[in-house]
Amino acid sequence: MARTVTTTTDGAEMLALGRLLALTVAGQVPAESVQFTDDGARLQWLGEGALEVTPANGQDTGLDLVLSAGVHGCELIPIELLDRLIQAIGRNEIRPRARLLLLFCNPPAMRQGVRRVGSDLNRLFCGRHADNLSDEASRAAQLEAWVAQFFSESGRRRWHYDLHSAMRASKLPQFAVCPWVPDREVSTESLLRLRQAAVEAVLVQEKPSGTFSAHTATRHGAEAFTLEMAEAAEGTWPDCLDGFLQAARHWIEAAPSGQLHMQQPPKAFRLSREIIKRSERFALRLPADIENFTALPIGTLLAEDEGVRWVVEEPDAHILFPLADVAIGERAGLIVVPRG
């Protein structure tokens, strides 16, 4: 069995594949594509930024779990969270009892520390890459292929958490986006599991989208969410990030989930309207530092673009993802309201 290890700063030994992030950013191919932990878990490098983990014999509890980050290369907190989990597996500190597919999704953007190099990768899933010739389209197709192979065995539970950062402060620091799936409501159990991971709100989508989590939910029937992780000022680390790491460890190790029924589910929101950028004259009329989930009084001017004005009409409206620096035709913000 392959056992090449490296030494961490605290002197602990770690399998070389536990340094998946460093390999990915450096564009390196590992010397060994398969390694085993001391407990017998199998780590297999599938390709750039992709690691599959199989539990030791007799330890598999029937869960296929995908954890992904780096769809947008500038979102550093999610990348660090996934790196911490992978390193802990490589040091044998986390002993997997679930099959894992661990993905750093957009290496070129990660290397440059930018949201995207070309097309927005998170708009190219659900087959939307088919007529796109960009490098991002090829990467979306590769990610879909890895996921299809990973989810190929029937009769197993399928979960996917795609880790992101909204890149701004939020009134509700950590929240999730639940993709729309025809004739399926998000389960209470999955909402309570999110709450246990320090997620305070969930936006339930009511129409199709081209995100990574939408692909795994609609194509493979996975319980899938886009998780927007809390922002952290330099030198700080919000407690909710540790809450997520603890929950993720429990998922990976199939640890008892505790009394989920004692938890309150996250606050639920739905999309009321999208603010769409139609031209280069588009202008947001909101403060640059406005926080996600800020309440919006009726009559508030949100944006203007070639004679079009977005004004708040909905009672109890809140703003989400305001961002003027998007491509023409893409959304520059969401108006969301509580879901009844």
3-state DSSP assignment of residue 331: strand
Q: Do residues 179 and 217 make contact, with C-beta atoms less than 8 angstroms apart?
A: yes
pLDDT at 261 over 80: no
Across 309-324, average pLDDT: 95
Q: How much is the average pLDDT of 271-288?
A: 94
Q: Which residue is it, tokens 């992709």? A: 50
Domain with CATH 2.40.50.630 in the chain: 271-338
Residues designated catalytic: 228
In the structure encoding, which two tokens stand for residue 122, read together? 């998170």
Helix (H, G, I), strand (E, B) or coil at 50: strand
Binding residues: 72, 75, 164
List the structure tokens of 56.
């030791």
Q: How far is CA 80 from CA 94, 97, 231, in A?
A: 16, 22, 12
- In this structure, of 48-52, 225-229, 232-236, the range with the lowest mean pLDDT score is 232-236
| Token pair recorded at residue 295 | 């309440």
Parallel, antiparallel or unpaired: strands 317-320 and 295-296:
antiparallel
Span 166-182, mean pLDDT? 92
138-156 burial string, b = 16+ CB within 10 Å, else e?
ebbbbbbebbeebbeeeee
- CB-based contact 294:235 (threshold 8 Å): no
Question: How many Å apart are CA 122 and CA 238, to the nearest integer?
Answer: 26
Fold of 271-338: OB fold (Dihydrolipoamide Acetyltransferase, E2P) (2.40.50)
Q: What is the mean pLDDT of residues 305-326?
A: 93
What is the rounded CA–CA span in Å between residue 211 and residue 213? 6
Confidence of residue 12 (pLDDT cuts 50, 70, 90): low
Strands 201-204 and 175-178: parallel
Tens-digit pLDDT profile for residues 201-231: 999 998 888 899 999 999 999 999 999 999 8
Tell me what pLDDT residue 133 has: 75
Question: Which residues line the annotated binding site for Zn(2+)?
Answer: 72, 75, 164
Nearest to 88 by CA among 15, 2, 191, 139: 15
The SS3 of residue 221 is coil
The H or E element containing residue 68 is strand 63-69
Architecture of domain 5-262: 3-Layer(aba) Sandwich (3.40)
Asked if residue 1 has pLDDT above 80, the reply is no
- Measured in whole angstroms, the distance separating CA 38 from the mean position of its chain's CA atoms is 29
How far out from the chain centre does Cα 205 lie? 16
Q: Are 65 and 98 in contact (CB under 8 A)?
A: yes
pLDDT tens sequence across 64-96: 999 999 999 999 999 999 999 999 999 999 999
Ranges for all domains in the chain classified under CATH 3.40.630.10: 5-262
The residue-averaged pLDDT of 171-179 equals: 95
pLDDT value of residue 129: 87
Flag whether pLDDT at 50 surpasses 50: yes
Is 194 a residue whose pLDDT tops 80? yes
